Structures are given as C-alpha cells and as structure tokens.
Amino acid sequence: MDTVFIRGLRVDTVIGIHDWEKAQPRPLILDLELATDAARAAATDHIDDALDYDAVARRIRREVTDNRAELIETLAERCATVLREEFGIPWVRLRINKPGAIGVDIDVGVEIERGSRQND
Ligand SMILES: Nc1nc2c(c(=O)[nH]1)N=C([C@H](O)[C@@H](O)CO)CN2
C-alpha cells in the first residue's frame, strides 16, 4: 500500500473546552497519511487517477475552518469521515497538533487511524 502524505497543514479555527478559547480562532497543525495506489496514477500520469492532495487539503481546511468543536478528537473524527466517505480513501492516519495548548513550545494533540491497510 502506498500513501499520499500532507504534513504541517496549518488551519486556524475556533477550538477548545474553555469559554476564552471560543472568542477567536487559533492554529491547528494537521498531518495526514492517506492510502493510495501510486502505480495506478503513474500508469496514466493523469491527476484523475491520483489522490489529489491539493483537493484533499482544500476540503480538510474547509471542514476544520467551517465547523466548531470543543475537542480535537471531534475534529479528527470528522476529518477522517470526510476522507473516507468523500474521497473513498480506505485507510487514513490523521494527527492534529494544537501547539501551545499546554505551554509555549509544547506540542500536544491526537492521532487517529481509521480503515484497513490493504496490502497489494
Ligand atoms: N484529549 C483532549 N484533552 C484536552 C482538550 C482536547 O481537545 N482533547 N482540550 C483542552 C483545552 O481546550 C486546552 O487545549 C486549552 O486549555 C484540554 N484538554
């Protein structure tokens, strides 16, 4: 199984359990690993046969920006559902980092894995 990855996708959104967090957006950093068939894309050299990482990034940005949540787990689950149901991706690993949430220069977040890693 091949993967398309997107690392360091910064998306600003309103997220948190405290009232003061709901006053303004803050940055989240997303890392995605997405199952794909790179050979299929290479065989035609056409974007229609590839998992278009630009389209994925734009859609995930919209999902995170347009929807409110208190927990990063909620956002992670929503993003995994979008990736699997709208893009038909069989396996996704998604990490959401909420930098500074527990201290300056400290990374904290959640990583989830959904679907099955199908071997060739
Ligand atoms: N597992 C989680 N723990 C915490 C979260 C979260 O989203 N998932 N959020 C918070 C606060 O919003 C924190 O980020 C800001 O004080 C605390 N714990």
Q: Where are the alpha helices (DSSP H) in 1-120?
A: 38-44, 53-66, 72-86
Exactly one of 5, 96, 98, 120 is catalytic; which is it? Answer: 98
Assigned domain for 42 exists: yes
Q: Which residue, by CA, sits nearest to atom 16 of ligand 1? A: 101
Mutation probe of ligand 1 site: the residue of 14, 17, 96 with most atoms within 8 A of C-beta: 17
pTM: 0.94
> Looking at the 3D structure of the chain, how many domains does it have?
1
48 burial (CB, 10 Å; 0-12 / 13-18 / 19+) is: exposed
Assigned domain for 18 exists: yes
Assigned domain for 120 exists: no
26 beta partners: 13
- pLDDT of res. 119: 61
Whole-angstrom CA distances from 57 to 75, 86, 90, 103 are 15, 13, 17, 28
Q: Report the mean per-residue pLDDT for the chain.
A: 96
pLDDT in tens, 38-90: 999 999 999 999 999 999 999 999 999 999 999 999 999 999 999 999 999 99
* 3-state DSSP assignment of residue 63: helix
- pLDDT of res. 14: 97
Q: Tell me the residue range of the domain where 85 lies.
A: 2-115
Q: What is the ipTM of this complex?
A: 0.92
Mutation probe of ligand 1 site: the residue of 20, 26, 64, 71 with most atoms within 8 A of C-beta: 71
On the question of pLDDT at 20 being above 90, the answer is yes
CATH number at residue 21: 3.30.1130.10
Whole-angstrom CA distances from 35 to 21, 73, 114 are 34, 21, 11
Assigned domain for 93 exists: yes
Residue type, 94: L
